[in-house]
Amino acid sequence: MAKEYIRGAGIHASGTIALANKTGNWRLVDPTVQNELCNGCKICSQFCPDDCIERLVVDKSSPAGTPRIMIDMEYCKGCGICAQECPKKAITMVKIEA
What are the pLDDT digits (tens) for 32-85? Answer: 999 999 999 999 999 999 899 999 999 888 898 999 999 999 999 999 999 999
Rounded to two decimals, what is the model's pTM? 0.76
**CA-based nearest residue to 70, from 93, 97, 42, 37:** 42
Question: CA angle, 62 as apex, 57 and 68 as ends, to 5°?
Answer: 40
d(CA 13, CA 19): 8
d(CA 94, CA 28): 9
Residues 6+ apart with CB under 8 A from 58: 40, 66, 67, 68
Say yes or no: domain 17-95 is CATH 3.30.70.20: yes
Domain ranges of the chain: 17-95
